[in-house]
Each structure stands twice: as structure tokens, then as C-alpha cells.
A = this chain, B = another copy of it.
Amino acid sequence: MLVDGKEYRSIQLKPGEREVVRIIDQTFLPHEFRLVDLVTLEDFCRAISTMQVRGAGLIGATAAFGMVSAARQAPRQSFEADIADAAAQLCATRPTAANLAWAVSQVQTAIDTADGIDNKIEAAFEAAQAVLEGDAETSRRIGLHGLEIIRALAARKASGPLNILTHCNAGCLAFVDHGTATAPIYAAQAAGIDLHVWVDETRPRNQGAALTAWELAAQGVPHDLIVDNAGGHLMQHGLVDMVIVGADRVTRRGDVANKIGTYLKALAAHDNGIPFFVALPCSTFDFSMDDGLAEIPIEERDPHELSHVVGRLPSGELGEVLICPQQTSARNYGFDVTPARLITKLICEHGVCDAEPNSIATLLMKGA
């Protein structure tokens, strides 16, 4: 991703160093762009648990390098035990992040398979690099498949930019690079297609306002911020040509759990004949589930996220304001489920498929 014209990834090795990992501290975005260097296992655990890094792909890559750090730190006499302990610590930082546990196990397996401490450390580093590069490559491929869809829609447009609506942040900042929902947007920008993005604020945590608006600005993609309430109105008036969102979990029939409010946008897109796309790495499929509404558990989060809004005070400092009576009870549901019937296509690293069991299975077999 570009920031002030310079290439960054949301996680990367510090230039010229193999033992220092550099992340963008997302807790200060969009108000300050701060880089943080991670060296010790504690650094990595803190970065994940305090949400300096967030998003499935990015959490996984951070945890993988956390394991490398643990391997370097571990005394030879307690190496195996220390590594196991580090894996447990890292997995405990965000217990529901499936990709985190997967990334940790990738590095653990590499360590277990290599012979001798030095080889184990080197194997850990290579495994973590593979996790990181694999994530970036997955996003890049999602972008290329999505680009073809954007190209076709743009070709049908008589004039003006193609207007794309997105919800939450499934962007560069949630993955190592490119993002999922944003990957086709960046690919289309690179291909010279005239684009404009409607950025849903995404209450209660405002990831759209804080993160998506920030990264689109950094990349130079034209965009406007809107409240989550506005998408239906825009679609009724022909101001949205397509919707593209990410996913937290997708069942084998193609029901999609994503940030709360996604379902409302899918309904509005359907009501107005606007195509609705979900971009995801294949690792997001959960084949243990079929009926998303009945089976996907929906996290209920701290109501403080809703009753208090975080942002920059006129003084320049970060602060928060209470927006309701002090004693108001609030309920804070993190996700909703968009039924497969409302989804035009799923866009994965292996290609594009219908939100339907056979089409999903065929695509995954092609990729395997």
C-alpha cells in the first residue's frame, strides 16, 4: 500500500533487518501514521491483543513472526517448552481468530520438523515468511479475479466513474497487503479504470471512517464517507454500481457472516438490481456449517463500543464522547449473516463462483 507515495505493507521486515518486524500501529489511525517495531514475544502479543494489528490475515502473519521471535529468544535447554508456551500465549491474544491459530501451527510444524536449534530458528523464519507472502499473494489474486468483474461492469457504463460501495475494512490494513474487498479496487485503479468508492462509516467501531477512508486516501482512490444508513438511498438513485465486502465466515451453501449491517446493504442491492460481491480467501470457508443463520454464532461485544465514540478532539488528542444517557442499556452485535440468495458472486484467490454448494465445491477443488 502507498503512504505519502512510499510503499508499505501492514506488516513487513524492517528494511535490511531479519530480526525486527515493522507494523503500522492501527490504534492511532486515521489521525496519526505511526510505525512500531516488534522484536520480543511480548511485543508481538501486545500488538495483537491491543489491536495495533487487526484483521484475519494480518493477525496471522504477526503471530507467525511472534513464533520466530520466541524461537530466537528461547534458551536451548528449554526450547521445546518455551515454543509451546509462546504458541499458547499468541493463540490466547485473540481467541476467536481462526487464522491466528493456523499461522501459529504452520510455524510450530516447521520448528518440529527441522533438526537442531539453528535449523529450527531458520525453519521458523521461512515458515513465517511463507505465511506473510502467502497472504499477500492470496489478496493479489483476489484482486485480479475481481478486476475482471469491475472491468465488465465499467464497460457497460455510459459515463462517469464506476461507483463501488463497501462496508467495514477488508482492506490492506486487515491483511498483509491489497486486502480482500479492496484488492479488486486497487487492481482496477492500477488498470486505469475510473472508480469512486462509497465508504460506509461502519458503526460501532467505525472501521470504514477510520481505516478504509484512510487507506483509500493513501492510495489515491476517489471516495466519499457516508453513514451506514445512506447506502439504500444511494442505490435507489442509481449512485451505486456494485457492492463489495469481505467475510468473516462463509458456510458451504454460501451464507456469509460479515460485519453487522452487511445484510442490510445486501437487501438494498437486491431490491435495486445491483450486484453484490463478497471477496474472501478460501480459508474463510467453514464446511462444518451449512445454514449460516442457524449455525454461525454471532459475537456480542462490549456495549461501551456503541455508547462511546472514539476520535480526535479539537486539541489534537484522542478521546471519546458518550452519545446516550449514562444509564442506557445497549446491545452490541458484531456480525450478521447475509443469506446466499442475496449474493451475486464470491471472489476467491482461485476464481469466482456462485454462492451455492456445487459452485463453491468446484472452485475449491480447482484450487486444491
Contacts and interface: CB of A to CB of B under 8 A. Distances in A.
A206 interface: yes
Given A263-B232, A325-B30, A201 B203 contact: yes
Contacts of A261: 227-230, 232
A232 B228 CA distance: 13
A127 to B, nearest CB: 36
A46 interface: no
Nearest to A215: B325
B311 A226 contact: no
Contacts of A265: 264
A268 B260 contact: no
Contact of A319 (B210, B263, B321): B321
Interface in A197-239: 201-204, 206, 209-210, 213-214, 217, 223-234, 236-237
A361 interface: no
Interface residues of A, number: 64
Nearest to A293: B236
Nearest to A319: B321
A271 B267 contact: yes
Given A203-B203, A226-B331, A313-B321, A233 B260 contact: yes
B328 A213 contact: yes
Interface in A293-339: 293, 298, 303, 306-314, 319-325, 327-333, 335-337
A228 B227 contact: yes
Contact of A201 (B202, B298, B306, B321): B306
Interface string A35-62: 0000000000000000000000000000
A234 B260 CA distance: 11
Given A328-B217, A330-B224, A264 B229 contact: yes
A227 B324 CA distance: 12
23 contacts: A30-B328, A201-B203, A203-B229, A213-B324, A217-B327, A225-B306, A225-B329, A225-B330, A229-B260, A229-B261, A229-B336, A231-B264, A232-B267, A232-B336, A236-B337, A264-B264, A264-B265, A264-B268, A309-B309, A309-B321, A312-B321, A313-B313, A314-B320
The 5 A-B residue pairs with the shortest CB-CB distance, nearest first, are: A229-B261, A311-B321, A233-B336, A225-B330, A209-B324
